[in-house]
Amino acid sequence: MKALMFLGCTVPVRNLNYELSARKVAARLGLELVDDPALACCGFPLKGTDQAAALTVAARALAQAAEHGLPLVSLCSACAAHLAEAEHRLKADPEAAAAVNERLAGVGLAYRPGVRVTHFMRFLLSEVGLEAIKARMVRDLSGFTFAPHYGCHYLKPSEALEGLDDPEDPQSLARLIQATGARALMHPSLKECCGGGVLGVDEELAGRMAGAKLKELGAAQVTALALVCPFCNVMYEGQQKKIAKSLETKLAVPVVYLTQVLGLGLGMSPEELGLGLNRVKPKELLQAMAG
């Protein structure tokens, strides 16, 4: 199965370990990810001030995917949701599509409905399948506990996304963790918002939002928090120290990407998966892998 890789803005600059591990996992599972350097920004950051612009930028990406004739696969939950929502809206509203196409004509592109947009994890599950992934596992991670974090846009807005998970009772990420033999911690805040959406306007508020979950996990004794979105990573890993300081508490919640967990299960080394780049290191895991 082939797909067009949509990296977005953050992943290729800040989350190389995520990108690296995802690409490795995809290759191991027989998925071909095609790159197009022209792909950039999904348009989400424009939405608050100018939806029409945000929609146009999203349509640009959709039009590019249409030219490749491939589904668009994103590592970022926000990009995936925004692009899927744009597709959902444009498909249902031919007038909006016509308006967008008028603008796209200026850059030599045209939007046509029917582009499949999906998150990388959802893509793994729908194309490879949980059973097949399980069958490819070579390293048993039992003894480790990962806290899956679904966040917002991996699940919502649900009507624009593939109906893989019940947004109220999501299971997919936990199943992927369990496929490696590890335990998935079903914690109360697994579908909470990380606060990344308000980081720009109210850093303190965003910190409180992320801090609540970090405190909860700090008490839960997990191997690591497992993420599938660079925005969540900004909050839970990037801001962890800052948050600990502002909350006047000590926090050391290791953070990994779920692709890294899968990669370990598939037999790859921590180096291959960029685990060295993780800032709050999952020491327990790294020690076990080294030993």
Residues found near another protein in the complex (CB under 8 A): 7, 9-10, 12-14, 16, 19-20, 23, 35, 37-38, 40-41, 45-53, 55-57, 60, 81, 89, 96, 103-104, 106-107, 151-153, 156-158, 166-169, 188, 192-193, 195-198, 200-202, 205-206, 208-209, 212, 274
* Smallest separation (angstroms) from another protein to the CB of 254: 21
**Rounded least distance, CB 79 to another protein, Å:** 11
CB nearer to another protein: give 153 or 183: 153
| Dihedral of alpha carbons 205, 9, 122, 60, sign | positive
CB of 169 to another protein, least distance (A): 6
Helix-strand-coil split of the chain, %, nearest 5: 50, 10, 40
Distance CA 3, CA 88 (A): 19
Measured from the CB atom, is 109 or 125 closer to another protein? Answer: 109
Q: What is the distance between the alpha carbons of residues 56 and 90, in angstroms, rounded to a whole number?
A: 10
Which residue in this structure is represented by tokens 């974090």?
149
CB of 223 to another protein, least distance (A): 23
> Whose Cβ is closer to another protein: residue 131's or residue 169's?
169
Min separation Cβ 152 and another protein, Å: 4
Give the residue with the Cβ less far from another protein, 55 or 244: 55
Nearer to another protein, 23 or 281 (CB): 23
- The alpha carbon dihedral of 197, 199, 200, 205 has a sign of positive
Q: Which amino acid is at 135?
A: A
Q: Considering the complex, what minimum distance in angstroms separates the CB of residue 173 from another protein?
A: 17
Question: Where would I find the H helices in 38-187?
Answer: 51-68, 77-92, 94-104, 120-123, 130-136, 172-179
Judged by CB, which is closer to another protein: 180, or 240? 240
Tokens linked to 45: 């950051």
67: helix, strand or coil = helix
